[in-house]
Amino acid sequence: MINRRQIMQATLATGILSGMGVGGARAQTRSLVFDTKNYTELTKTIQTARGDRVVAYRFYKAIPYVSAPVDIAYQSLNISVPVSIDGKPVDSSASPILFSNSVGGYMPSSVAEATGVGGAPMRGLPPMGMQPPPQAAPLTGIGAEVQSGGNAMIAGGKRVSNADLALAAGMTVVEPGARGRTLTDAAGIYYGVAPAAIVDLKAAVKYVRFNKGRIPGDTDRIVSSGTSAGGALSALLGASGDSPLFAPYLEAIGAADASDAIFAVGSWCPITDLEHADMAYEWNWGTNPLSRGSAVDQNLSAQLKSGFAAYQSSLKLKGLGGFGPLTSANYADYLLKMYLQPAATYYMSKLSSEDRAAYLAKNPHIRWKSGKASFGWSDYISHVGARKKGLPAFDAFDLSAGENNLFGRDKTKARHFTAFSQKHVTGAPEIDADIPALLNLMNPMFFIGRPDASTAERWWIRVGTKDTDTSLSVVANLAAALEANKRKVNSAMYWDAGHGANEDADSFVRWMSMASTR
C-alpha cells in the first residue's frame, strides 16, 4: 500500500520533492502559459513512404513545463507546429498531438540543444547482412488493426523519426525532456532516479493540456511514443493517467493544474516490469550463450525461471486470439503462434523467390509451406544466438546495471530492487523499505485495471524478434493485460530485428490518424 507520507519520506532528500533546484537554491516560479509568439520558422525535407515532403513549421524551443523546476535543462519541452506541407497551408488545430520522448536507458533527456524537430529519432535498422523487407506491404501481427500501407523503415538502413513523420502528416509534435538516473547535484545527491522521469513526462502532458487552445492540436488526443526505456515510460504514461499516487511529486515541481491522461500509446521494446524482468529474461534467454560464448550459471538461471512460473500464474492472463490462460508452460507455444511465426511469414513473403530460397538455405530450421513459416521454440532460440545481458540481467549482483542506478537514493548511486539479488549478495532477502512503492510507480502492469488510473484507449506495441535486451514476454504480457481491460491493442514483432527497431513508422503515423478519428 502506497500513501502520501511514505512517498514524501522516501524522496525528500533526492530533491524530487524538496522544491529546491540543482545546487540547493530554491527554483524560480515560472509561468505555465504557453507563449504563442516565441517561435522560429524552420523548413525541413522529410522522407516518408510516399515520397519526400517539404514541411514549413514553427519551432518553439526549450519551454519550461513546470513552475518550480528542479533542473530546467531537462524539465523543458520543444513544440513543432506545421504551417505548410509542399507549399500547401496546414491547420493542425484539430489533429492528434504526438508526444515523443527520446529517453534511453532511463538516462537524462534534454531538448535544450535541439535545432529542430526530431532531435533524437528512433532507429529502424535491419540486422547486419540482412536486407530490409520491401515497402508498401501491410504488417501482420496479433492484435493488428487493418493498416493502409507497409513497412516504413527507410530504404538503405537510415534512421527513422516518428516526430518527423508526424509533422509531415500535419500533426503538432511535442518533444519533452526529462530527468534521468545519472544526474547529481553539487552535494552528490542523485535527483533523477525513480520516479523522476515519469513525473516529468506527466508534468509535460499536464502543461500541454493546460494550454488547450494555445498549443495547436487536440489535447484530448495526445499520443505518446518512445523506445526502450522511453518505450517503458510511454507505456507507463498511458497506463497511469491521473493516478493520485503521483500527486505529491507533481505538486512539488509546480505541475500545471490539468489531467495527465493520454489517448494512445506507441511503445517500442519497452524495458519495464523490472521487478520480474530477471525471472522473465531467464525463462526466455536462459540457455542462450553470452556474446563471448560462455553460458550463465544454469542453477541460478533455473531458480529465476521458477520465479517466472509463479509470477506468470499470478497474472491470470489470457492470450490474444482466444489462446486461453497464459502460463510458463505454454508461453513458448503462444509466442510462436501469435507473434513469431506470423512475423517470419510476413518477412519472408515479401522477399523475392530467389532471396527467400537463399534465406531458407541459410536457416534450414525454418520451414516454408503454403506461404507460411514454421519452426519450433528451440530452433528459434538457437536462431537468435547470443543473449545480450548476463545474470541477473537487470538487478546485477555487483550493482552495475542501469536499473540498479535507477533505484538509487540520496548519495547512494545504486541499490538492489529484488529479493533474489539482495539475498544472493547479503544472505537476507529484505530490500530497502521504499523500493516496493517505487517499483509500482515505475511499472505499467501495476496500473492497468486500477479504478483510480485512467488507462489510454489505444496501444501500438512493437519489438524485434532478435531483441535480447529483455524477455519477449514483457511485451506479450503488456498486450494481454491491456486487451483484458478492453483496450484496443495493435501489437506485433519484427522478424530478425534487434533492439530499437521501428520498421513501420509510417503505418504508426497513419494509425494515429485513424485511431484518433471520432
All domains of the chain in start order, with CATH: 4-272+499-515 (3.40.50.1820), 274-316+387-433 (no CATH), 323-383 (no CATH)
The CA-based dihedral angle spanning residues 156, 157, 163, 167, taken in that order and rounded to the nearest 10 degrees: 10
Rounded Cα gap, residues 102 and 94, in angstroms: 25
Neighbouring CB atoms inside 10 A of 182's CB total 17
Rounded Cα gap, residues 343 and 476, in angstroms: 14
pLDDT value at 305 more than 90: yes
Mean per-residue pLDDT, 414-442: 97
- pTM exceeds 0.95, yes or no: no
3-state secondary structure of 433: coil
Which residues, 6+ apart, have CB-to-CB distance to 429 below 8 Å? 419, 420, 422, 423
pLDDT value at 177 more than 70: yes
The predicted pLDDT at position 277 comes to 98
CA distances 265 to 101, 177, 226, 322, Å, are 12, 18, 9, 24
Residue 34 backbone dihedrals phi, psi, to 5 degrees: -65, 130
pLDDT value at 311 more than 50: yes
Mean per-residue pLDDT, 311-325: 97
CA distances 477 to 26, 211, 489, Å, are 43, 35, 12
Q: pLDDT tens digit string along 346-396?
A: 999 999 999 999 999 999 999 999 999 999 999 999 999 999 999 999 999
Mean per-residue pLDDT, 459-484: 98
The CA-based dihedral angle spanning residues 478, 479, 483, 485, taken in that order and rounded to the nearest 10 degrees: 10
Query: Using an 8 Å Cβ cutoff, are 516 and 221 in contact?
Result: yes
Which stretch of DSSP H or E encloses residue 282? helix 274-285
Of residues 219 and 1, more confidently modeled: 219
The predicted pLDDT at position 147 comes to 26
Mean per-residue pLDDT, 439-457: 98
Rounded Cα gap, residues 408 and 182, in angstroms: 9
CA distances 325 to 20, 144, 310, 316, 487, Å, are 49, 20, 14, 7, 18
The predicted pLDDT at position 375 comes to 98
Mean per-residue pLDDT, 231-257: 98
Average pLDDT, the chain: 89
Mean per-residue pLDDT, 72-96: 97
Which residues, 6+ apart, have CB-to-CB distance to 299 below 8 Å? none
pLDDT value at 139 more than 60: no
3-state secondary structure of 471: coil
The predicted pLDDT at position 216 comes to 97
Query: Using an 8 Å Cβ cutoff, are 461 and 227 in contact?
Result: no
Report which of 30, 78, 19, 27 is spatially closest to residue 208, judged by C-alpha positions: 78
The predicted pLDDT at position 118 comes to 87
3-state secondary structure of 137: coil
pLDDT value at 73 more than 80: yes
Helices (H), 295-434: 298-315, 331-335, 341-349, 353-362, 377-384, 402-406, 419-426
Residue 26, beta-bridge partner list: 20
The predicted pLDDT at position 465 comes to 98
Give residue 23's pLDDT band: very low, low, confident or very high (50, 70, 90).
very low
Rounded Cα gap, residues 433 and 271, in angstroms: 23
The CA-based dihedral angle spanning residues 310, 312, 317, 320, taken in that order and rounded to the nearest 10 degrees: -150
Q: Which of 105-119, 128-142, 206-220, 287-301 has the lowest mean pLDDT?
A: 128-142
Query: Using an 8 Å Cβ cutoff, are 228 and 469 in contact?
Result: yes
Give residue 120's pLDDT band: very low, low, confident or very high (50, 70, 90).
low
For the chain, give the percent of residues with pLDDT over 90.
84
The predicted pLDDT at position 125 comes to 35
Q: Which of 109-113, 290-294, 456-460 has the lowest mean pLDDT?
A: 290-294
| All three cell numbers of 332 | 513458448
pLDDT value at 240 more than 50: yes
Give residue 158's pLDDT band: very low, low, confident or very high (50, 70, 90).
low
Mean per-residue pLDDT, 446-462: 98
3-state secondary structure of 34: coil
Q: Which of 117-121, 270-274, 276-280, 447-451 has the lowest mean pLDDT?
A: 117-121
The predicted pLDDT at position 21 comes to 58
Which stretch of DSSP H or E encloses residue 43? strand 40-48
Query: Using an 8 Å Cβ cutoff, are 123 and 501 in contact?
Result: yes
pLDDT value at 124 more than 60: no
Residue 495 backbone dihedrals phi, psi, to 5 degrees: -65, 135
Rounded Cα gap, residues 228 and 41, in angstroms: 32
Mean per-residue pLDDT, 87-101: 97
pLDDT value at 419 more than 50: yes
